[in-house]
Amino acid sequence: MAYRNKTYVAFASEDIHFYRLMQAWRQNEHIDFDFLDAHDLNTALDTSQPDTIRRRLRERLVNTKQSIVLVSDTTKPKGARSSSFLYYEIETIVKLDLPVVFANLNGSRDIERSMLPTSLLDQYTVSVSFQPKIIKYALDNYVEAFAQNKTATSPKTGPHLYRASVYKDLGL
């Protein structure tokens, strides 16, 4: 098995510009934000057959240590439609038991339950606003917390969030 060091970003196709913004943050020398993007592996062209695309998505997810799900009004409905690629990504994330950071595209620091994919509501996840500092903080800290939670006597379940003091300490 390959070394799992990548971050997989799942999103509805309507939200691709937010994913592109994350890539721009990574390239900007004035923004302290970086992640090893799983989308850089095994490129599937738009003209590929759905089975080929799903196979490539799975290959990417298998090499992933953590995932970010970009959350908008379209996330829950698309994540519930079995014909969508987002549905496949979410189901694979669940099967592989990957840590999930929800990034709220509306800027909310709260848990946006009404927008979260149903299959992830019972999983131990963390919700953050769509800002580079807090997403980076979550990527740097949440994976370890997720791993520790698996062996805890009373493991946490469901979505969680960071306290206001974490945002304040980050200057947000």
Helical spans, DSSP H, in 42-155: 50-62, 75-80, 85-96, 132-150
Q: Tell me the two tokens of residue 85.
A: 């690629």
Nearest 5°: phi and psi at 86?
-60, -40
Residue 146 burial (CB < 10 Å; 0-12/13-18/19+)? buried
In tens, the pLDDT along 19-31 reads: 989 888 878 776 6
CB 111 within 8 Å of CB 159 = yes
In tens, the pLDDT along 129-168 reads: 999 999 999 999 998 999 999 999 999 999 999 999 999 9
In tens, the pLDDT along 36-86 reads: 554 544 455 555 687 877 888 788 788 888 899 999 999 999 999 998 889
Compute the distance between CA of residue 99 and CA of residue 150 in angstroms, rounded to an integer.
11
Taking the whole predicted model, whether its pTM rises above 0.85 is answered as yes
In CATH terms, the fold of domain 6-163 is Rossmann fold (3.40.50)
The mean pLDDT value of the chain amounts to 86
**Residue 124 pLDDT greater than 50, yes or no:** yes
CA distances from 124 to 25, 121, 156 (A): 27, 8, 6
